[in-house]
Structure 1
Amino acid sequence: MAENDALIRPYVHGDEDNRLVRFTVAKAAMEPLAAANRKDPHFGSWGYLRPLPGFAVMSLPIMRQRPEFEKQSIETLKRPDIANITEYYSRSPSSGFWIYDFGNQFVGLIAVDASTDSLSDDTVSSSQEAARETARSITSGKDKIHKPNTPPTAVIRHFYVAELYRTAVAQNDLITFAVKRIFESSSVVERIRMTPSPLMDYIEHSLKSAGFEVIEQGPKVELKVIDWTNDVPGYGDSPVDWKLRIDEIQSAIKGSSRDATVVIDSVDTIEEDLESPSEASSRLVCHITALSPVLPFLKQPRFAPSFIHLIAHPPALLTHLSRAYLTSPPSSSSSSSDSPDALKFWRVFVPLSDRPLEIEALVFGSDEHAEGGGSPDELVVEILVRGRGADVPIISSVPVSGSGKRKGIERVLEGWSVSKGGPVPLEELDSLKNVWKKKILSQPEAPDPTKDLTFNLSLTDSQQASRSQVPLPYEHNGRSTSSQNQSAHIFYDPDSADDLDDEDPDEDLDL
């Protein structure tokens, strides 16, 4: 496939597509949580209540929505179609699981179930009695006789498009392809059904553009507001009757036809109404994701001089740093340590901690370099403290240097173990045992040049003694002798061979 070609292909059974599909399906189930925590500007602060039915009392919004989405995500992953994708979606010619790719980039996916179980929401962990009943019906042939392979109603079980491609309406390509494929594969299918989340607007617009119509509306939101803003102590005709107020709240909860969510606004004001003699301290506690646009504003010193930021990291992050950068956290795990190893660790860890998307890809990536989440009972908690004083306590099992002193910013790492009941030092986390082990690198010995010789170069003791008695050549070099102090002379004795002519007699030679 070319680099920039768009292709809608069927799911291929294998590790790569399997990891991609499971991660995307779980992510799609959790994505409405971000929309549920986003305030609707049309309704002000009450826009937080739009996704859920509830009962409200004027107070600080305390929403407990995450467990519901986590429960839905787990149930989705436990359904039979995710347990065995290839086998499940091959039971009917109109069923299928397709993945949308743009070159090497993942765009989205869609899964259509046109089998006899298309309207079932059972999970793999259904009751044993239901499993035995299904086995008996299949054995007796009832399933084959009374249930056709393709029912008249097909269900879109999974539909997701990456946020990057939603503005290019890639979701319209997926839904158009799936609808055409369903109706062309079988004449039995008469309609297609999907129950999208009301928080995912792009899916609703895509379905309407493909010709889908709304046939069922969900239950209406039951909202009751109890307004006590005008009941100011000391300014009313009668004192505040708290017993009457509590009875009013309990009566509203009991009268609700569904599970009630209580939202309280201005808890400090309510405490003052109770005429407490102690002065209420002001503290804001927020539980948000690392990608929340609110986080940069909360971290500004102008907002609050004292600040504590707790960031949960998977232990796989420290394992990756230990293997890829050969650095492990110091034993104190404090950024105030001046040791070279500690400074090296924080120079690598801090920039990576500020990039949550890279950490997510490191743990849940679809390639072979994914570390995996590790133990679900253990976490690495990064504690960022600014302006800590007597009024800003910090509970930590790891000692923090400079205690009692005001410092600019201090960063600490500690472990959190569910099985051990709370905070623990990093050294006690089971998933980080390999990080603290010292690897001893064995140096290879130099080869012996005399190993493969056919003769022996070693000398015996007698041979070494004889060798030491041999005088070395040029041993007298550099030594002075007594003859160097005498003058030089030439001794000449004339003989018969000398030339004794008159012109140049040798007797005239004076030496």
Structure 2
Amino acid sequence: MADPAPVPSGVQVPGNAVDGRDGPIVQMRKFEPRDLKEVRLLLGYSIMEQLAAANTLLYTNPFVIVAWLALSSVMIGLMDWWPDPSGPAWTWLMPLPALASCAVPFLFAIDWLNRAYFEDLTRRVLAQEDTVDIPAYYSRAPGSGFWVLIYKGNPIGLVAKDAKGKKGKDGKKDDGKKLDHSRIAHPPAPTAPTVALVRHFHLDAPYRPTFIQNDLLAHGLSQAFAAAPSLETAYFRVSKLTPWLEEVSKTMGMRRRAGPTGEELAKDVGRRGLMGWREWYVGVGREKWEERYEEMREMHGL
């Protein structure tokens, strides 16, 4: 099957609204230097919003609930707030203050301890090479790119894909024991990219009910496969803290698989929360993507 047609950089959202005076209301375009402040803010949001998910998972953890009920029972007993079965009905409300007050330390402690991990992870991500100099990093190879979703002139989403070639058969670096002088005079030519990794993907939460995140990721993937004919597979990283990203990946035809170098879990730049939640890889091959891409185009009448 032929490669999917490249998607122009104008309005690419099916059913979008266009203002005749001010141009397109919704636009997907490449990153520009003027977007840096908003893009870095979106990158920070993409990590810090996982804090709420991490807190919720711990709030509903059976061990935390048991500890909360045990502490509440101790307080109820000390204050003699147990309801009187033979007394008036209002006595059954007496334990409520103890239950509420004993929950506060757990809520505070969980958020405080989790927050430290995600704030550190945010600093690490914003200091990575690809986020410090975005234009330089994402122009190294065909198939790479950093796209921004604009709504009424404001960036509300982004997708960054990094295309690279495969490593050697053993995946190991040179141990430095032997020096190949031929490589000094004739350095190896860069290999054509065969895999693409979506390094960053985010859409502001208020816009997710419109499912425009599907169009944003589809745009990024279509650009990668069209720009690099050698590209074989595109990868995406999801976790238990980002269920909405997993739904988007399934819409793109992605399924869980080993990563670009064969690992099951993604190499992380930092721990995610007290429980150390890890990301795993999902991916889609070129042939499967082309089939899914055509299905989406037909569904939207393109």
Name the SS for the 2:237 alignment partner. coil
Q: What residue is the counterpart of 1:170 in the other structure?
A: 212
* 8 Å Cα contact 2:157-2:204 kept in structure 1: yes
Check 1:204–1:96 CA distance in 2 against 1; reply closer, same or farther (3 A cut). same
Q: CA RMSD in A?
A: 3.9
Match of 1:148 in 2: 191
Q: How do 1:342-491 and structure 2 match up within 5 A?
A: none
Shift of 1:260: 7.8
Distance in 1, Cα, partners of 2:241 & 2:41: 20
1:179 pairs, out of 221, 225, 236, with 221
Residue type of the partner of 1:30? M
CA contact (8 A) 2:39 2:155 kept: no
Within the alignment, does 1:46 sit opposite 2:65 as a pair?
no
Per-residue deviation at 1:207?
0.6
CA contact (8 A) 2:161 2:197 kept: yes
Number of the residue aligned with 1:6: 26
Q: Are the aligned partners of 2:26 and 2:150 in contact in 1 as well (CA < 8 Å)?
A: yes
State the 4+ residue runs in structure 1 displaced beyond 4 angstroms: 56-60, 140-144, 216-219
Partner of 1:79: 128
Amino acid at match of 2:55: N
Measured in 1, the distance between the counterparts of 2:207 and 2:50 equals: 18
> Of the candidates 85, 88, 101, which is equivalent to residue 137 of structure 2?
88
Question: 1:471-493: CA deviations, max 9, x gaps?
Answer: xxxxxxxxxxxxxxxxxxxxxxx
Aligned 8 A contact 1:153 1:189 in 2 = yes
Mapped contact 1:91–1:149 kept (Cα < 8 A): no
In the alignment, what sits opposite 2:53? 35
On the 8 A contact 1:6/1:101 being kept in 2, the answer is yes
Select 1:197's aligned residue among 202, 223, 239.
239
Structure with bigger RCO (C-alpha 8 Å, 6+ apart): 2
Deviation at 1:116, TM superposition (A): 5.3
Gaps (5+ residues) in structure 2?
Answer: 1-17, 72-104, 168-172, 259-263, 267-272, 276-302
The alignment-based identity, stated in percent, is: 25
Q: For the residues of structure 2 that align with 1:84 and 1:208, how far apart are their CA atoms? A: 31
Over residues 44-89 of structure 1, what are the superposed CA-to-partner deviations in whole Å (9 max), with x where a residue is unaligned? 742697xxxxxx9966634211121112111111111111111110
The alignment partner of 2:256 has SS state of: coil
Cα separation, 1, equivalents of 2:187 and 2:197: 21
Say whether 1:109 aligns with 2:148. no
Deviations along 1:166-214, whole A, 9 cap, x unmatched?
0000110011111111111112111111222321222110110001101
Report if the CA contact (8 A) 1:39-1:47 is conserved: no
| Separation of aligned partners in 2, 1:32 and 1:179 | 24
Find the counterpart in structure 2 of residue 286 from structure 1: none
The DSSP-based 3-state class of the residue aligned with 1:7 is strand
| SS of corresponding position for 1:187 | coil
Match of 1:70 among 119, 124, 142: 119
User: 1:80 and 1:143 mapped to 2: Cα distance?
Assistant: 27
1:105–1:45 CA distance, 2 compared to 1 (3 A): same
CA contact (8 A) 1:154 1:192 kept: yes
**Higher share in helix:** 2
Q: Which has the larger radius of gyration?
A: 1
Q: Distance in 2 between matches of 1:96 and 1:181?
A: 8
What letter matches 1:189 in structure 2? L
- Partner SS, residue 255 of structure 2: coil
1:100 equivalent to 2:149? Answer yes
Q: 1:159 aligns with which of 196, 201, 204?
A: 201
**Does residue 24 of the first structure (1) align with residue 42 of the second (2)?**
yes
Alpha-carbon distance, 1:149 to partner? 4.6
**Any idea what the Cα deviations from partners look like across 1:316-339, whole Å, max 9, x if unmatched?**
xxxxxxxxxxxxxxxxxxxxxxxx
User: Is the partner of 2:218 in helix, strand or coil?
Assistant: helix
Give the TM-score taking structure 1 as reference length. Answer: 0.34
The whole-number CA distance in structure 1 between the counterparts of 2:63 and 2:186 is 46
Aligned residues: 196
Matched, 1:188 2:230: yes
Alpha-carbon distance in 2 for matches of 1:143, 1:174: 41
Letter in structure 1 aligned against 2:214: N
CA contact (8 A) 2:35 2:155 kept: no
Structure 1 residue 147: deviation in Å?
A: 4.5
| Residues in 1 aligned to 2:138 and 2:231: alpha-carbon distance in whole angstroms | 15
What is the identity, as a one-letter code, of the residue corresponding to 2:50?
A: P
Listed as ranges, the matches of 1:207-218 within 5 Å are: 207-215=249-257
